[in-house]
Structure 1
Amino acid sequence: MTLNIYFSAAAKDWEAYQPLLQNDLTAAGFDIALSNTCPAPEAVDYIVYSPDGPLEDFSPFTNARAVLNLWAGVERIVANPTLTQPLARMVDPAGLTAGMVEWVTGHVLRYHLGIDAHIVNPGHDWVHVPPPLARDRKVTVLGLGELGAACAAMLSSLGFQVTGWSRTPKDIAGVRCLSGDDGLQPALTGAEIVVLLLPKTPQTENLMNDDRLGWLAKGAALLNPGRGPLIDDDALLRALDEGRVGHATLDVFRVEPLPADHPFWHHPRVTVTPHIASSTRPETASQAVVRAITAIETGQPAPHLVDRSRGY
């Protein structure tokens, strides 16, 4: 039986993914018809999708067994009323997760070691103050899903005092895991470096507001490679101006690309990175798509299904 797979993403992605998916699915033993056009929606078995593609109405795809999202985030699709098919988010340890772990680890070490002071030292000042050891640095990771758990585990392996917080209880070796409403304040209180890796939901929007930023250690560093709306932008700017937060490195924003006149671009205590903390890499993402299709075709549940009541 031939599997009909409709690829709905940006044109540049089709060029990258088409040969990879064709080769990987064929190597897995599937006879496939793969196309980025869709003349007969009712014949489609799987939709490989990203929100920057042309597909908006899923209702004609009456026989599609799953929609396989190429992005880790699903907030731009999960509330689509035409989407009745199972939706799976991208989980790719060899690509997405590895990239996020490297970005987070690099920027945590940057703050921990005080590297900026040595890179930007116009007076050539000789300030002989060594940094503390990792075991004396408190790091909190908000969000312990696939990405957050991997980052927390890596930071713990380097010796940091790592606290993780999530909506539901988690257990990660070497990480102090807190959860729920009662766990948030203890997770943030006294934290010197905070990493935001939560999904965007009504409950997480503006999570880091004036009150919660006030729970951090004075001069704390804030890293946001998760979702832009996790932070109340005005509250963060106030905290930076008052010295309550020492620096913020932000990779995601409410509007992207970040507008040229946004205060984050010009603030001396903000580093902007252009949504590069973690990206879907076609070589490994193609293999993740194959794993998902293989699971479904062999009678297993689709991996990494989105719970639409939670929004992720």
Structure 2
Amino acid sequence: QQWREHWQDRHAFERVQASGEAFLMPNITSADLDNMARDAEHRRLLGELGTRSLMSAPISIGGELIGSIMLASSRPDRVYATEDLALAQELSRRAALAIQAARSYNQALAATRARDELLSVVAHDLRNPLNTIAMAGSFALELLQGAEHQAARRQLDIIDRTVEHMNRLIQDLLDASRVQAGQLVLERAPTKPESVIREAMDMLQPLATHAGVRLEVECSPELPAVTVDRQRMVQVLSNLVGNALKFTPEGGRIAIGVTLHAGALRFTVSDTGKGIPADQLPLIFGRFYQARADRRGLGLGLSIAKGIVEAHGGEIWAESTVGSGSTFGIDLPVR
């Protein structure tokens, strides 16, 4: 707006500038300088600069003129020609792209901030009624004792599991937002790897038993401690094993191991499931990715796991063969 107000069509030169067309003045005369000058003082300065050749190219975005690039030469042996004007036009085109990219980036940042604020409010507003439902269901379970209430208790168990699932979805949304914003808070402390695996297995063993899948753990108590956020690493391992349980058929096996590898502590989760197609492997850690055979959840689990591992300075990776199974690995630096 300031640029448009400045280039009011008070002089012929300014009218050309404001028209949004490129122009070239290879040899500037005294009369040209007179036309360019706004007043006597400006004319004096133009004369002292000794401008002999001039060209200008507009900067436009979506048909809107937002500025211009102007180049001037005061050297007698440097007179601008049409090829120089083409270069100026290319510079102005690239400047327009850069400005547009900066605008888009700022708009994206504003949209991200608005989304995160909305998520925070929605998560808070959703959790309050969910907690009320959970407490009411728990109280009802205590009241409904005896064989005659088995059918009602089964329905209350469904409500309880659904509330737990909804809480996990809400937490996934919040964690994904924090990871993307670089606001994931870690409470690091020296931690033995076997304690992380043991806690994750305590939560997942009942699910594996129900699915008819065998869980195997190999972790030496002699392995060194690693400085991590214990609960976040339990979250990562639980996510990886939980994913493996989804795709490992009854009678299958999931192996969890920890070894030292090239100066890092390597956690691995291997399964005998369906495997991941090669064309999908590069995509699995992306936000909202879901396997073609599974549409449960939001597809944020692996993306969150990647963010947590990278926040620890580590690396997460995956290997897979269709029909044979997959291996997910986490390499954490030992400090």
TM-score by length of 1: 0.20
Please report the TM-score for the alignment, with normalisation by the length of structure 2. 0.19
| Larger relative helix fraction | 2
Structure having greater relative contact order (Cα 8 Å, sep ≥ 6): 1
| Larger CA Rg, structure 1 vs 2 | 2
